[in-house]
Amino acid sequence: MHEFGPQRVAADSALGRVTAGILFLTLATALVVPNALDAGMVALVLLALGWLPRPDGWRRHELHRMEWLFLASIVVYVAAWLLAWTGHGLAEAGSGTTERLLKLLGAIPVFLYLRRVDGLEDWWWNGLVAGALLAGGYALWWLLTGQTGEYDARVTGPTNPIYFGGFAMAYALMLIPRLADERQSTGARSLAGLAVMLAFVANALSGSRGAWLAIPLLLAVYLFTAGARQPIRMRLGVPLVILVLSLVVLFVPTLPMSERVSETLLELSLIAEGTNGQGGIGLRMQMWEIAAGLIQADPLWGTGPGTFRVALVESVQAGLYDPGLLRYEHPHNQYLSSLIEGGVGLFACLLLLLAAPILLVSPLSRTFSQQCRYLAWCALAAAVVFATLALSESLFERNAGVVWLAFLASVTTALAGGSARQQSVPGEREDPGGDP
């Protein structure tokens, strides 16, 4: 770093240590402790807003094009939602979503701040390991003590099984490169392997299926990104181990996920025969049919927030769909929700929001240092898992969905981008996205 470069927060400074501690504690506890994720995100935002007003905090950020795109995607999506909500008459049904989506803006100061803090990488990895271990331990405790809740024996975490299981899976997938990192001791890599296994167990005991669709895609991408410079035994062996672990979790009869797989296959068979299933997929298919009708009614501007619930109630009362749908408020698909609430404009902004972290880190995935590539993999894995979960859940209808996106997207991209500038491979250009 040249003498007149942007000011940074040293790893051994008091502020650097506080930031690292908050990052670690948030990662370690977010999956199992109520409000831990919100508290961690608020603390990071406050640190950012306290530090960034320094003389060069806001001005000398030296962002490249993809970083600008990432930040712009957040602002554009929030603005598009507000425009859609306002254009449809400020419906009361959209007020809660508005309050939640404004929290996405917190990702901007967190990103700008964390990319200027040194020494966070080990805290990030250790936080992931600790969080996965705690999630798996919590899930096993839930099972062994016979706990039940709103979703029967499925492990819920602080919110519900979809979020607990889905983001436990994100932890497992983000940790994959750690298993092959020769810079780590055998003990550290073994602990990471145990964390991955327990994160899979946590997901299995939650019964959450949505994130599993991300596994084959990410394992294929791994070969050409984080695994590109690894020895061939690691490049092929690590994805193979994850694939075998996935199959074990899916098909071992003693794990709840086996029952969920059987239920999925049965429902798909019923749907193929023209019959509505009564499980998670069957009910979603009915909700998606209702959503499709609304989208066809006004594909350009959408029918507005709250209209899905009205259409659902009317359809059930008319005897067209199962009365069990009455407990739902949204179509359990974020892409359909955006088309209903704001039409193709809001849908396009959603696609940009979810794609921007991937576009930002893609140039870092092959040609930069090992540390940078592995951090870029975390951003890639988190973004793909979130985009996959959005296929089966309207993630922005709960606070957890918004805050998880803001936290994971801002932290992973900040760490990957910061690492690219500090530890890029000699001879490679520092700015993968173009001139600032």
SS3 259: helix
Instruction: Give the distance, in angstroms, between the CA of residue 416 and the centroid of all CA atoms in the same chain.
Output: 16
77, containing H or E segment: helix 65-87
Over the Cα atoms of the chain, what is R_g? 22
pLDDT of res. 103: 97
Q: What is the DSSP code string of 39-70?
A: HHHHHHHHHHHHHTTSTTTTT-----HHHHHH
Tens of pLDDT along 212-248? 899 999 999 999 888 888 889 889 999 999 999 888 8
pLDDT of res. 370: 83
C-alpha to C-alpha distance for 86 and 100, rounded to whole angstroms: 16
pLDDT of res. 259: 67
Instruction: Give the distance, in angstroms, between the CA of residue 63 and the centroid of all CA atoms in the same chain.
Output: 23
Residue 117's φ and ψ, nearest 5 degrees, are -105, 125
Tens of pLDDT along 336-373? 999 999 999 999 999 999 999 999 998 876 667 788 89
C-alpha to C-alpha distance for 124 and 115, rounded to whole angstroms: 13
**CB 102, CB 78: distance < 8 Å:** yes
Tokens 């749908």 correspond to: 325
241's tokens: 């181990």
Those residues with Cβ within 8 angstroms of residue 72's Cβ, 6 or more apart along the chain or in another chain: 356
Q: Which residues of 392-401 are buried (b: 16+ CB within 10 A; e: fewer)?
A: bbbbbbbbbb
C-alpha to C-alpha distance for 19 and 9, rounded to whole angstroms: 10
Those residues with Cβ within 8 angstroms of residue 74's Cβ, 6 or more apart along the chain or in another chain: 104, 105, 107, 108, 353
What is the number of other CB atoms lying within 10 angstroms of the CB of residue 126? 18
C-alpha to C-alpha distance for 313 and 146, rounded to whole angstroms: 36
Q: Which residues of the chain have pLDDT under 70?
A: 1-6, 55-61, 254-279, 365-367, 422-436
Q: Helices 14-29 and 36-51: crossing angle, nearest 10°? A: 160
pLDDT of res. 277: 62
